[in-house]
Amino acid sequence: MLYSTVTPERKRRTLREQLVPGAARQFPGAFNPLSARLIEDKGYDGVYISGAVLANDLGLPDIGLTTLTEVATRAGQIARMTDLPAIVDADTGFGEPMNVARTVQELEHAGLAGCHIEDQFNPKRCGHLDGKNVVDLDTMVKRIAAAADARRDPDFLIMARTDVRATDGLQAAVDRARALVDAGADAIFPEALRSLEEFEAVCRAVDVPVLANMTEFGKSELFTRAQLAAAGIAVVIYPVTLLRSAMGAAERVLETIAADGTQQAAVEQMQTRQRLYELVDYEAYNRFDSSVFNFQVPGLDATREPQAPQAPTQHPQP
């Protein structure tokens, strides 16, 4: 009921325990707090909060337009609704290394279990698009060192994302990943790798957990959990999958209403009222209410049946 009672510190410890090379823990992307509940209900290990989804949800492209305040607020709303650890996409960290430090503290404060910070230039873009630019290693090392130094909970996960595979090839991505681990990164997100062998190479090169981004319509093939586990991957994200699915369903029902004059043909595909109420834990609120009023106070019988509402007083019409 209300929010998760699992503390952010506990979630961060859980995340640390989960992120074992080869475990391929699956973190689908929540597009709102309710979908985080669904992810938990279906038995997943954690929740991913995508920068692309946060931007797209506001009707914006994913080019670094969202602010730290918007991201921290929305990510916090999502994180607090689930017992699972949540990792958020902090894009380029929202500025210079000092801004990155503030970003980490804000995300910790919002109850996230970890975040990733990438080495793109602003304006950044989706890692699976062409024409990306990355900052030099020194600048990225400063971002990651500032992030690692700023956290107050040592279990808050700082993940370094590198987009260098697309600009300078696999070996450069591996070299950069190693340097970012030395700078303090707890985990590595090698963006837009082309094959399982490439994932394997990164996993072999670093002794920290590695993330695989299984975004649709991108540069990476959609490998299975078993394939990624065999490659040594610790965590797999499906960042935009739920948003794309929900929007696909929304488009179809809008077409049905327009064509048929009613949504009737689409009702079978919908989440039922009962299932929706289960997810928001409606029942618990009823229980809460009855226990609040299930006590005796001298002079006040709170257990009696509520009075039937009085009929409204009739005023004569003028």
Ligand X SMILES: C[C@](O)(C(=O)O)[C@H](CC(=O)O)C(=O)O
The one-letter amino acid code at 138 reads D
**Least spacing, CB of residue 25 vs ligand X, in Å:** 16
Q: Which residues bind ligand X (CB under 6 A)?
A: 50-52, 62, 89, 126-128, 213, 215, 218, 239-240
Q: Which is nearer to Mg ion, 20 or 58 (CB)?
A: 58
Q: Which is nearer to ligand X, 89 or 198 (CB)?
A: 89
Residues in the chain: 318
Identify the helix (H) or strand (E) that includes residue 80: none
The region of 88-96, 171-179, 204-212, 288-296 touching Mg ion under the rule CB under 5 A is 88-96
**Least spacing, CB of residue 124 vs ligand X, in Å:** 8
Residue 118 known to be catalytic = yes
- Binding residues among 32-71 for Mg ion as defined by CB under 5 A: 51-52
Q: How many angstroms separate the CA atoms of 46 and 155, rounded? A: 16
**Least spacing, CB of residue 52 vs ligand X, in Å:** 3
**Least spacing, CB of residue 280 vs ligand X, in Å:** 25
Q: How many angstroms separate the CA atoms of 112 and 156, rounded? A: 8
User: Which of ligand X, Mg ion, none binds 150 (CB below 5-8 Å, type-dependent)?
Assistant: none
Residue 221 known to be catalytic = no
Residue 175 known to be catalytic = no
**Least spacing, CB of residue 188 vs ligand X, in Å:** 14
Residue 89 known to be catalytic = yes
Residue 109 known to be catalytic = no
Q: Which is nearer to ligand X, 55 or 174 (CB)?
A: 55
Residue 191 known to be catalytic = yes
* Cis amide prior to 306 (ω within 30 degrees): no
Q: How many angstroms separate the CA atoms of 215 and 299, rounded? A: 63
- Residue pair 202/162 in contact by the 8 Å Cβ criterion: no
Residue 91 known to be catalytic = yes
The phi and psi torsions of 117 (rounded to 5 degrees) equal: -125, 130
The region of 76-84, 85-93, 101-109, 285-293 touching Mg ion under the rule CB under 5 A is 85-93
Residue 9 known to be catalytic = no
Q: Which is nearer to ligand X, 22 or 218 (CB)?
A: 218
Question: HSE (CB half, 13 Å, CA atoms) of 30?
Answer: 31
Kindly state the tokens that stand for 115.
């975040």
Q: How many angstroms separate the CA atoms of 243 and 94, rounded? A: 24
The residue among 116, 125, 120, 139 whose CA lies nearest residue 209 is 116
